[in-house]
Amino acid sequence: MAERALRGTRLGATSYENDRNTDLAPRQEVDYTCGKGHRFTVTLAAEAEVPMTWECRSCGATALRVDGELPQAKKGKPPRTHWDMLMERRTLEDLEEVLAERLEILRSGRRRTA
């Protein structure tokens, strides 16, 4: 009998559960405003840590919490360049020596085979 009751109902596509007699988790609503004046509300769990910034739903800019202040920018390390990484491995004298060797090979016309 159960097979006949479910025949043709697209199993998995539709849920037969309902929200009656279900306690939802406590929630809080947080208001955000972006620089272009868009104001929107985000619903979060009551125990969740509320972020100071959120992406604006209208324009994609960074929105700030209405009752918050702009977070302090973190100090980061400057990006390392190829030259910085090279100088960690070699000294200027080593580099000048390698350059002199390579120039000598190029000027003599012979190729170095590996």
User: Binding site for Zn(2+), residues?
Assistant: 34, 38, 56, 59
Q: What whole-number distance in Å separates Cα of residue 9 and Cα of residue 2?
A: 12
Beta strands in 14-114 (DSSP E): 27-34, 39-45, 53-55, 62-65
Beta strands in 6-104 (DSSP E): 27-34, 39-45, 53-55, 62-65
Q: What whole-number distance in Å separates Cα of residue 27 and Cα of residue 44?
A: 6
- Binding residues, by number, are 34, 38, 56, 59
Contact 39, 32 (CB under 8 A): yes
